[in-house]
Structure 1
Amino acid sequence: MRALTCFKAYDVRGRMGVDLDEDIAYRIGRAFAGVLAARTVVLARDVRPSSNALSDAVARGLVAAGCRVLDLGLAGTEEMYCATSVFGADGGICVTASHNPVDYNGLKMVRAGSAPLDAETGLLAIKALAETDVFAAPDAAGEVVETAAEARAAYVARVTEFVDIDALKPLKILVNAGHGTAGPCFDAIAEALDQRGSPLRFERLFHEPDGSFPEGLPNPLLPENRTATARAVTETGADFGVAWDGDFDRCFFFDQEGRFIEGEYIVGLLAQAFLEREPGGTIIHDPRVIWNTCDVIAKAGGHAVQSRTGHAFIKQAMRDVDAVYGGEMSAHHYFRDFFHCDSGMIPWLLIAELVSRHGPLADLVAARRAAFPSSGEINFQIANPREAMGRVYDALAAAAVSMDETDGLSLDMGRWRFNLRCSNTEDLLRLNVEAQADAALVAEGVSRVTAIVLGDGSHSAA
């Protein structure tokens, strides 16, 4: 039996040749089919150099288990989600490592109905079976069926239902695919909008898929990766900018001045938009940065429900409480009417409608940013994250107004608040600080928690 190190909290991810290879991918395909008793499985892949071979290996494993594999080819994770539900498949897999380093890859997997997989719903069973490498003989022959065109058409039809075309104004939008998977899918959406009379115009940046990522890894959450988008927004006179990560299930926004908009303010905007459509609705949010989101939801008459961070947990919470929308400050946005799944394309369509109806994006977030300033996510690479969290608890918990451990450690210190948690997908400790109408208090909180995290000062923020 070969122990597998690539299984994480809710997906498979690791370094090629170290944690993951074609043999492991084959065995995961076999195990996925076995655990889920799958007959039909959707398969997609991103643009990374290793993704073709891994996708082929997963397909071989599924076929060997007797599955009919609906192959989407180069496609985003959310296209896999859509196809899994639309085609009534027993599960779906996307070969992708999203924003991780270029020598990484992974698999995002869902059950029938695009329902999430985690430790309690089959992920650990798949890991255990893949480790044994002992599989039952199939009772039918498997096959691979190319379904890229049909799947993309169904996906485009679904996401464009979220926007009122008649409400759109002739905005110019700068889009940055980061040489990831987003470009071809975006073009299909843009063409469909144009055919329906949309007045939107687009400027494209780093649009062609290129797994060598010549402009750097597509991860706009990192400040150093935002400059090109910000500059292009101002140079082209765009009304706002959008940038995606590698598999485009996250999208990031820049206002007309090229200023990056932190994820929690987009969550607030989208929550308000959905509560206008569905008064009294339920909105899911993660525990990292919450005050702006909860304030918006309360003023709009909605119901806020907190969930543990991560797509598997948010999606299950969406189903449990029939939430119309869920948002994470890390730029994952989830939609009840998109199979309770996350999408990086639906948000920019909704923001385009909001800007068309209510004015510039900068104006829509200015008051919220002033009322609830935040730090953005700060990452630490340290040897013992749990020990560091313990130091923070010992130093600050007694003075806290309240404490929450839904995901990591959240302490409400009165006029400022922070969340400190270990990443589910990377070896990092993550800090977020927010305050009530006092940006200086955010900086003070960051400094205070950072000093405790770093302890003797021998480590640094990543």
Structure 2
Amino acid sequence: MSTSANTGYQPAAKFSPITIDSFKAYDIRGELGVNLDEDIAYRIGRAFAQILSRRYDTMADTQTSDMSSLQPVIVIGSDIRHSSEPLKQATITGMLDAGVDVIDLGMTGTEEVYFATSHYKALGGIEVTASHNPINYNGLKLVKEYSKPISADDGLAEIQALAESGLFTTDKPSGNLQLLTDKSPYINHVMSFIDTDKLKPLKLVINSGNGSAGPVVDLLTDKLRQADAPIEIIKLHHTPDGSFPNGIPNPMIAANRIATQQAVLKNNADLGIAFDGDFDRCFLFDENGEFIDGSYVVGMLAQAFLNKYPAESIVYDPRVIYNTEAVVKEYKGKAVISKSGHSFIKQVMRDSGAVYGGEMSAHHYFRDFFYCDSGMIPWLLTIELLSITGKTLSELVTGYIQAYPSSGERNFRLTTHDAPTIISAIESKFGPENPTKSTLDGLSLNFGDWRFNLRASNTEPLIRLNIESRGDAALLATKTQEIEQWLAAQGAIPA
């Protein structure tokens, strides 16, 4: 069948070499019309499909390969940005022209692509999204077989090189396109993480941020209703709208939390929930409207899983560790630390067989979700935990916060020195105090009663600081002020 008739995008007749500078460490993200457009999306789709198809053809007949059970198809979805559908169609055309069959999932969140890649035993998957970036940005998140991540040193650079060269093979007939927008398998799988019979009456405020979460929230609400679960849901900024009438959905920004906080208080809700644009991150607010820092959510979900699965491994990142390690020890689990970033967390989880992994950035990963992150599973687990314990969210986390106060992540833009220079200098500054040192991710120095982690961002020209103490808020405040003043003297400006 004609690919242009399927997608409405017509590629160029010839491909000259170009430079594509929208490739990042873990995904593809760029400004529309500057370093990302439909022509670039076509090239990326074609390169992605050609490389995955070649790997499949080479390895599928090998008895020891895990490729033999896969289908020669790639799944793709897109968020609700106005630019996402045209970019998706161009990407689809590229994949079809590479001779690979494609399943179009329609409008999705990133985790739906993760699910569909494994559910349909696909060669890989693509989500067209810019998540929480400004409205004039977009991008592509790529995974390979079994929903495994693709990073710069594990395939992404190869895809970039082929897309830039335009040296595509033309020896395969065009692939076929299928539209599969039924979310039932995904919804049923997400619901399998909780026992609805254990749910007690709770009132929730769910802020979808006018992003892609709304339709999934509706389907999960229907499932809860069908199960006679006594859960009342108040929907805020619910309708998907690519113009983002209430601002770009990014609850990491304090100003973007106000609407959820006010709605929790106005409605006397037990819990507030908010998402970013592609809902791969879940943000929680307690019954007082207080935003709960992601590191404490990691500890809470670790508790939830260790109650279900005793002695299992829990993976966490090195930015803030005291509380998570204490919870895992208390509930007799195995604490496994990993470098920050989804590709690292997922690999460490696979290697250790961990049941759950969490980052303070509000990414939560689950063994039974193909070791991928989900924004929907965390809030379902939270309402189950609230029901089982009979506690409010503030009661669950206040003890954590008091026992292990933290600064929250502080971001600084560098004006004078680069990140390695700053990190080396701060190590020299504190070296005489003989702290325990780790360079797993940036620099972590542990002084026993307090510690900090300083690391360069993988995605932005920033350096990120986290400080925590063991039950000493005054010490935390003193050390936070000391390090921030030292950074300022090095030309690091709060971002």
TM-score (norm 2): 0.90
Instruction: Return the match for 2:408 from 376, 394, 407.
Output: 376
- 1:80-115 deviation line (CA, Å, top 9, x unaligned): 000111111100000111111222111111111111
CA contact (8 A) 1:400 1:411 kept: no
Moved over 4 A (4+): none
| Corresponding position of 2:387 | 356
Tell me which residue corresponds to 2:253: 222
CA contact (8 A) 1:388 1:452 kept: no
- Once residues 280 and 270 of structure 2 are traced to their aligned partners in structure 1, the CA distance between those partners, rounded to angstroms, is 22
> Which deviations, in whole Å up to 9, do the C-alpha atoms of 1:111-141 show, x marking residues without a partner?
1111111133311111111111111114232
Query: Counterpart of 2:398?
Result: 366
2:60 corresponding residue in structure 1:
none
Offset at residue 386 of structure 1 (A):
3.1
Matched, 1:439 2:476: no
- Contact 2:280–2:374 (8 Å) recurs in 1: yes
Aligned residue number for residue 35 of structure 2: 19
Matched to 2:386, the amino acid is V
Q: Name whichever of 367-376 and 441-450 sits farther off.
A: 441-450
Inter-partner Cα distance in structure 2 for 1:94 and 1:398: 48
Partner of 2:99: 66
Percent pairwise identity: 51
The CA deviation at 1:334 is 0.4
- 2:69 aligns to what? none
Q: Secondary structure at the match of 1:122?
A: helix
Residue type matched to 1:369 in 2? I
Q: How far apart are the structure 2 equivalents of 1:5 and 1:214?
A: 30
Partner of 1:140: 173
State the Cα distance separating 1:3 from its structure 2 match.
2.6
**Structure 1 match to 2:262:** 231
Select which of 391, 399, 402 maps to 2:433: 399
| Alpha-carbon distance, 1:71 to partner | 0.6
Matches within 5 A, 1:50-449: 50-149=83-182, 152-358=183-389, 359-383=391-415, 384-449=418-483
**Structure 1 counterpart of 2:116, one-letter code:** A
Match of 2:48 among 15, 27, 32: 32
For the structure 1 residues 398 and 124, does the alpha-carbon distance in structure 2 shift closer, same or farther, using more than 3 Å as the test? farther
Q: Which amino acid aligns with 1:329?
A: M
Q: In the aligned structure 2, how far is the partner of 1:322 from the partner of 1:309? A: 18
Contact 1:218-1:245 at 8 Å conserved across structures: yes
Q: What is the CA distance between 1:144 and its match in structure 2?
A: 1.9
Post-superposition CA distance 1:318-369 (Å, at most 9, x none): 1111110000011000000011110000000000011111111100011111
How many Å separate the matches in 2 of 1:214 and 1:408? 38
Q: Distance in 2 between matches of 1:456 and 1:263?
A: 29
Give, in angstroms, the shift of residue 400 of structure 1. Answer: 4.3
Q: CA deviation at 1:427?
A: 2.2
Q: Which amino acid aligns with 1:53?
A: P
d(CA) in 1 for partners of 2:30 and 2:431? 35
Report if the CA contact (8 A) 1:10-1:119 is conserved.
Answer: yes
The one-letter code sitting in structure 2 at the alignment partner of 1:54 is: L
Query: Structure 2: which amino acid aligns with 1:20?
Result: L
Q: Deviations over 1:46-91 (max 9, x none)?
A: 1112211111111111111011111111100000000111111100
Unpaired runs of 5+ residues, structure 1, are none
- Checking the alignment, whether the CA contact within 8 Å between 1:397 and 1:403 is kept in structure 2 is no
- Quote the RMSD (CA, aligned, Å): 1.3
Q: Is the 8 A contact 2:50 2:95 kept in 1?
A: no
| Cα deviations by residue, 1:154-212 (Å, 9 ceiling, x for unpaired) | 11000000011010011000000111111111111111221122211100111111122
CA contact (8 A) 1:400 1:414 kept: no
Contact preservation (8 Å) 2:24, 2:152: no
Distance 2:439 2:84 in 1: 37
Q: Read off the aligned partner of 1:414 and give its amino acid letter.
A: G
Structure 1 contact 401–411 (Cα < 8 Å) conserved: yes
Q: What's the CA shift string for 1:293-338, capped at 9, x where partnerless?
A: 0110011111111111111111111111111000001100000001
The 1:171/1:146 distance shift into structure 2, 3 A limit, reads same
SS in structure 1 opposite 2:246?
Answer: coil
CA distance in 1, matches of 2:487, 2:91: 41
Q: When the two structures are aligned, how many residues end up with a matched partner? A: 459
Q: Distance in 2 between matches of 1:400 and 1:416?
A: 13
Query: Is 1:455–2:489 an aligned residue pair?
Result: yes
C-alpha displacement at 1:460, in angstroms?
A: 2.5
Higher Cα radius of gyration:
2
Rounded Cα–Cα distance in structure 1 between residues aligned with 2:102 and 2:490: 54
Q: CA 1:65–1:433 in structure 2 vs 1: closer, same or farther (change >3 Å)? A: same
Does structure 2 retain, via aligned residues, the 8 Å contact 1:391–1:453? Answer: no
Q: 2:97, 2:173 within 8 Å by CA — same for their partners in 1?
A: no
> Partners of 1:456 and 1:312 in 2: how far apart?
31
Which amino acid is 2:485 matched to?
A: A
* Larger deviation, residues 388-397 vs 86-95: 388-397
TM-fit CA distance, 1:425: 2.0
Deviation at 1:456, TM superposition (A): 5.1
